[in-house]
Structure 1
Amino acid sequence: MSDPLWRPSSARINSSGMQRFARQVENQLGLRFRDYGELHRWSIDNPEIFWEQVWRFGGIISSEPWERVLTDGDRFPGAKWFSGARLNYAENLLRRRDDGTAVIARLENGERRSLSHAQLYEQVGRLAAALRASGIAPGDRVAALMPNVPETLIGMLACASVGAVWSSCSPDFGFAGVMDRFGQISPKVLIACDGYFYNGKRIDCLPRVAEIAGNIDSLEQIVVVPVAGIDADVSRIRNVVSLDDYLPAEDTPELEFEQLPFDHPLYIVYSSGTTGVPKCIVHGAGGTLIQHLKEHRLHVGLGPEDVFFYFTTCGWMMWNWLVSGLASGATLALYDGSPFRPAPSALLDMAQEEGITVFGTSAKYIAALEKEHLRPRETHDLSALRTVLSTGSPLSHESFRYVYRDVKQDVCLSSISGGTDIVSCFVLGNECLPVREGEIQCLGLGMAVEFRNEKGESVIGEKGEMVCARPFPSAPIGFWNDPGDRKYLAAYFDAFPNVWTHGDYGELTEHGGVIIHGRSDAVLNPGGVRIGTAEIYRQVEKLDEIVDSICIGQEWEGDVRVVLFVVPRKGVTLDDELRQRIRQTIRSGATPRHVPAVIVPVADIPRTLSGKIVELAVRNMVHGRPVRNTDALANPEALELFRDLPELRRE
């Protein structure tokens, strides 16, 4: 067991949300928990009591109480949560109505705005009134092609207040990518930006908005939001109106919160769509709310004194996760644009200037900071920062060390993992526990997570499939337009009956931490030995000459061989000496089985719009198989770099 990189102080533990929750349970139920492991075991053995306690601790607002916390708890899927309760998600996020700051929003071009809680409530009320005037009712879909700006948050809250279902895409999606998503759900209203800023450019979205409006027959209203100041004639767009003209001019009625069942649909979110048409995943209001309150208040320790930031687009579930921070009274910090403009320190500058206390980002971003040789602890005042969150891919050992060496020593670095599928986390952080290099701190409370080997046995200290053996409130209601739940059942419940199989490959450590080795469908299998790709990436990231990499298994002579593609730093040539150093680094840091048979230089690595590498798409290109829905990629042209490479041909 490695020594911890960080341990929380006694004062931090005693003031933490996790500790306060544990004391609440102990005092009310006459229990005593010696450690987090006991609290977690109690939470999954007693789901009805646990989730009732989370409801009370989170102060969830409802107009009708529940009749029963859990019905059919032995059915997964099929369990029902908080039957009889009626609530509204937006009401729970807009519980503060004071002059404190609710939202800070910044754009890449330097523009900054802020809204108080009172102003946010008033603006949500105006848009909700406009939606009602348009005939929007509970269950109707409202789509948004928007950047991460206050109007997007306002749109979602207004939508939720009337009981409509919100679905958003980032404006960098191409026409086909948008149609693959919104075209499936028949929205009545589209809220779209005129344009956005990215990487020093102002990008006009209006031609694409016009094309979308002309191809989704269900759209009755297109509301254009001015973000980039695009001066264009919008009259060619069907049923178009500007946001200012859409909102009521005066006498806005009091904001009404439609009271709805716990499992009323709140969001439709989408799988990445790199291997087929995206799955339309439907999440319920109550399950999303209570799960996010648990994760924010207990695992992150979020509260009214916090400034909460996550670098995300509105097409990634981390945006949905971020905005729920309002339910804990926190100030949200929004950013839209390139994280490296006008300089690589852009987000660090924002953290200093805004006093961000909880800073969320991707593992790739942290690795990129190190590659840029940035040392924020020497250049920035990050005294307000108490927690760093990382997700999107496993955080490497080197990145753990980098944060504590060069960013800040006294900070809780929490790698977290879950997904769009559950719009939340299975495994995540805990400010009461130590941080160990290369590990996620703990299993989420109420989540019966296990790792199962090829025999289906739950194992500790061995690699296996990550599963969740019992129901949880934020499991999807289902997929949109999926008769009989056939696609939903096939996606998660085929491998083990009554058990959610998530598609991650990892292990539970002896002390309760978690190591994720990669996606199960990207696991390499040379000579019949399963290898997680993350184990290789961790080693490659040690080499300053390499700025990015992706690894696949190539079918070869009746077996599979490991192929590693690398992006050398500018001015660096991948010669035999560097190839040998890469192999030696992997061999010494992992095992000889991890050493790639072939190492190939490429100019770029294809990624989704949320920044995740697409190993399956690259594998298909290498094998000459079709790659569908490339509009889901931020840089689809990079896929061509992997087509018919001479280094991978059979002689």
Structure 2
Amino acid sequence: MNVWVPPADRVMGSEMYRFAEAVGMADPTEYAALHRWSVADRPAFWSALWDFAALPARPAGPAVADDRMPGARWFPGAELSYASVALAHDDGALALLCCDETGTTGSTTFGELRAEVARVAGGLAALGVGRGDRVAAVLPTRREAVVAFLATVSLGAVWVLCSPEFGAASIVSRLAQTEPTVLLTTDAYRYNGRVHDVREKLVEAAAQLPTLAAVVEVSSGLVEPRGGQRPWAELLDGSPVDPVDVPFDHPLWILFSSGTTGIPKAMVQGHGGIVLEHLKSLVLHNDLRAGQRLFWYTSTAWMMWNYQVGALLAGATAVLYDGVADPARLWSLVDDHGVHVFGASPGFYQNALDGGHVRAGRNLHTVGSTGSPLLEPTQRDLGDALGHAVKIASVSGGTDVCSAFVGPNPLQPVRIGEMQGRMLGVAAEAFDAAGRPLVDEIGELVVTAAMPSMPLGFWGDDNGSRMHETYFATYPGVWRHGDWVRFTAEGGAVITGRSDATLNRGGVRMGTSEFYRVLADVPEIEDALVVDTDELTLFVVLADGSELDDDLRTRIRTLVRSDISPRHVPDTVVAVPAIPYTLTGKKCEIPVKRLLLGATAAEVADPQSLRNPEALFAVVEAAAAAVERSAP
């Protein structure tokens, strides 16, 4: 069943169709053929994308000089700058549109942004920042973060960003790994109507970063100033510095893993790889054009902040929002500001549907979803609410590549319960335990050929051992991402959960999202989390007025038995007040499992990486109480 079918004029007017024509595809509407070519001749594909995007002239020679994983080398001799590409647009075109919980706070043109970035780059240079140095920031989703990022990378320095929601210890666990030269901080931020003064916390964090030469405070205007740090105005007074070109694989930024499975991994990605990947994803796959507007609800704790700023690469406007994800407010922003591509998490969309807030904005053509699988009922209801003019574009990728492995394209229909398929240039497969590709069966999501935005390495992992263990230990020379996926015979993709949270019952392996899909039809259940130790435990959040009695337990078990498998009937069903989530909207299946197996809280999760850390421990306490009640 299709939830969206592209009209012929939309197919033929898309950027992907234009790209397919440019590379000489016999039928530019045939996505499957275009994808096959993009992975069969990856050097030709990535070179063609470079030319299609009108990036600076590249030297003659192969696009891929060394095609191994890890260690692939891309476009040897090529130089460019993320900042130069992002700022190379008409002075009067709108670059940033900034909003918060109180309303629209301002707009910035490309001309204004270019001038401000040049001055802040000069200010950073005056503080001693140069090529390869790290500039760290603890800032919310405001324009100054974008300006500071572009100024940093225009010098060839490396950008490192944390959210002010994190505690001091969490900030230090990330930033101390990178030994920053300069730290940019805020004094406060607003969330859900409350102002959070973070100065004491950030002074404490800065004191534990011995490499700092300077700390610069960006005033929020939310608290009374008290001095003590260099002001943002000092950077704005810098002598303008233009962006410098750097090699294709020069470090651009350092992104951190969630920290729910140990010390956050510090993943380094390069200028060229990110420029190409984000242009491919935004322009070809999401059909974002110069002059259009991209709004993805995110915080600075999530790679989607970096992805959203990528709108500038395409000459589009990045709509920034700082505050709580209130469905009514965000959907009003989509309409009021004429957003063309809007993105959020599956949980946000379900909340918006429940409140009756979902509607097609006046310019809206694509609604993106990522962070966890979009369940079929949510996808179906979202399609009904948006109508045929708006495409639902589910994507799955990771911070590890700051891009997607599977996702949308404008040439094919969207089928219920599926992502449209593999992204261009991505040789994704489902592997069995022996490393054989599967079709229409669940297997490990792997990538068998390098992508340009794969990490250059982990910061501080000098011998590459941690990176090898993370991605390449299971299938040598092949990237194992850690998700379960099923690719259909038609090329569609279904992500069924994290493979390290697999429910393996008597040799029958099942992804956790299969549970959530089935339970979505139980009206008494608002949310759920399932983990498999030696016992299969299902945690449920009950709807108001509902009770977890014997009747509901029996119905749950009967439904699982008939719709999933008899082996996956839960041994225990436990009611909890809330399900723990990471800041990026993923259920904490692995931390809960490890806690149930006896690990300590310090071993399983950094509380500051969680949206609701209290829920993590409440779940474990509820499980212990259930065991005690059932004991003879």
TM range (shorter): over 0.9
CA distance in 2, matches of 1:635, 1:213: 25
CA distance in 2, matches of 1:467, 1:615: 21
CA RMSD of superposed structures (Å): 1.7
Q: Residue 594 of structure 1: CA displacement?
A: 3.7
> Would the alpha carbon gap of residues 302 and 34 (structure 1) be closer, same or farther in structure 2, given more than 3 Å must change?
closer
CA distance in 1, matches of 2:557, 2:116: 57
CA distance in 2, matches of 1:227, 1:592: 56
Q: Does 1:366 align with 2:349?
A: yes
> Would the alpha carbon gap of residues 594 and 353 (structure 1) be closer, same or farther in structure 2, given more than 3 Å must change?
farther
Q: Secondary structure at the match of 2:208?
A: coil
Q: Secondary structure at the match of 1:410?
A: coil
Match of 1:182 among 169, 175, 178: 175
Match of 2:569 among 576, 591, 595: 595
Q: Residue 588 of structure 1: CA displacement?
A: 4.5
Q: Residues 219-245 of structure 1: CA distance to partner in whole angstroms, max 9, x if unpaired?
A: 11111111252114242xxxx211113
Match of 1:76 among 49, 54, 69: 69
Aligned to 2:270: 284
Match of 1:41 among 16, 23, 36: 36
> Would the alpha carbon gap of residues 200 and 575 (structure 1) be closer, same or farther in structure 2, given more than 3 Å must change?
farther
Aligned to 2:613: 636
Q: Secondary structure at the match of 2:124?
A: helix
Q: Does 1:245 align with 2:234?
A: yes
Match of 2:339 among 356, 359, 381: 356
Q: Residues 422-481 of structure 1: CA distance to partner in whole angstroms, max 9, x if unpaired?
A: 111111101111011110101011111010112221011011001011112111100001
Aligned to 1:538: 517
- Where do 1:37-436 residues align within 5 Å? 37-61=32-56, 65=59, 67-73=61-67, 75-235=68-228, 240-248=229-237, 252-253=239-240, 255-340=241-326, 344-370=327-353, 372-377=354-359, 382-436=361-415
Q: Residue 390 of structure 1: CA displacement?
A: 0.3
CA distance in 1, matches of 2:318, 2:96: 5
Letter in structure 2 aligned against 1:285? H
CA distance in 2, matches of 1:168, 1:181: 9
Letter in structure 2 aligned against 1:360? G
Q: Residue 199 of structure 1: CA displacement?
A: 1.4
Q: Does 1:553 align with 2:547?
A: no
Q: Residue 368 of structure 1: CA displacement?
A: 2.1
Q: Residues 21-73 of structure 1: CA distance to partner in whole angstroms, max 9, x if unpaired?
A: 0000007xxx55672111111111101111000000111125x6354311122
Q: Residues 522-551 of structure 1: CA distance to partner in whole angstroms, max 9, x if unpaired?
A: 111122211100111112223343222211
Q: Residues 217-272 of structure 1: CA distance to partner in whole angstroms, max 9, x if unpaired?
A: 1111111111252114242xxxx2111133217xx43x411111000000100111
Q: Residue 382 of structure 1: CA displacement?
A: 1.6
Q: Secondary structure at the match of 1:68?
A: coil
Aligned to 1:558: none
Q: Secondary structure at the match of 1:26?
A: coil
Q: Residue 593 of structure 1: CA displacement?
A: 3.5
Asked if the contact 2:100/2:323 (under 8 Å) is kept, the reply is yes
CA distance in 2, matches of 1:353, 1:593: 50
Q: Residue 124 of structure 1: CA displacement?
A: 0.9
> Would the alpha carbon gap of residues 319 and 34 (structure 1) be closer, same or farther in structure 2, given more than 3 Å must change?
closer
Asked if the contact 2:123/2:234 (under 8 Å) is kept, the reply is no
Q: Residue 273 of structure 1: CA displacement?
A: 0.9
Letter in structure 2 aligned against 1:376? V
TM-score (norm 2): 0.96
CA distance in 2, matches of 1:543, 1:155: 48
Q: Secondary structure at the match of 1:332?
A: strand
Aligned to 1:6: 4
Q: Does 1:608 align with 2:590?
A: no
Asked if the contact 2:130/2:156 (under 8 Å) is kept, the reply is yes
Q: Residues 535-593 of structure 1: CA distance to partner in whole angstroms, max 9, x if unpaired?
A: 111122233432222110132xxxxx321111112333222233333334444443334
Letter in structure 2 aligned against 1:630? P
CA distance in 1, matches of 2:462, 2:357: 53
Letter in structure 2 aligned against 1:563? T
Asked if the contact 1:141/1:186 (under 8 Å) is kept, the reply is yes
Q: Does 1:481 align with 2:481?
A: no
Aligned to 1:26: 24
Runs of 4+ in 1 over 6 A off after TM superposition: none
Q: Residues 465-513 of structure 1: CA distance to partner in whole angstroms, max 9, x if unpaired?
A: 0101111211110000112101011111111111111111011001100
Match of 1:449 among 406, 409, 428: 428
Please say which of residues 562-571 and 479-488 is displaced more in the overlay: 562-571
Q: Give the number of equivalent residue pairs.
A: 625
Asked if the contact 1:269/1:282 (under 8 Å) is kept, the reply is yes
Q: Residue 630 of structure 1: CA displacement?
A: 2.5
CA distance in 2, matches of 1:233, 1:494: 52
Asked if the contact 2:119/2:235 (under 8 Å) is kept, the reply is no
- 5+ residue gaps, structure 1: 556-560
> Would the alpha carbon gap of residues 637 and 398 (structure 1) be closer, same or farther in structure 2, given more than 3 Å must change?
same
Q: Secondary structure at the match of 2:517?
A: helix
CA distance in 2, matches of 1:99, 1:176: 43
> Would the alpha carbon gap of residues 126 and 567 (structure 1) be closer, same or farther in structure 2, given more than 3 Å must change?
same
- Alignment identity in percent? 39
CA distance in 2, matches of 1:382, 1:285: 34
CA distance in 2, matches of 1:264, 1:495: 28
> Would the alpha carbon gap of residues 33 and 118 (structure 1) be closer, same or farther in structure 2, given more than 3 Å must change?
closer
Asked if the contact 1:67/1:85 (under 8 Å) is kept, the reply is no
CA distance in 2, matches of 1:230, 1:451: 52
Please say which of residues 382-391 and 32-41 is displaced more in the overlay: 32-41
Asked if the contact 2:372/2:585 (under 8 Å) is kept, the reply is no
Q: Residue 111 of structure 1: CA displacement?
A: 4.6
Letter in structure 1 aligned against 2:349? I
Q: Secondary structure at the match of 2:506?
A: helix
CA distance in 1, matches of 2:599, 2:356: 40
Aligned to 2:542: 568
CA distance in 2, matches of 1:17, 1:415: 19
Aligned to 1:623: 597
CA distance in 1, matches of 2:447, 2:491: 15
Q: Residues 363-393 of structure 1: CA distance to partner in whole angstroms, max 9, x if unpaired?
A: 12112223x341534xxx6231110100000
Asked if the contact 1:536/1:594 (under 8 Å) is kept, the reply is no
Letter in structure 2 aligned against 1:512? G
> Would the alpha carbon gap of residues 133 and 367 (structure 1) be closer, same or farther in structure 2, given more than 3 Å must change?
same
Asked if the contact 1:439/1:515 (under 8 Å) is kept, the reply is yes
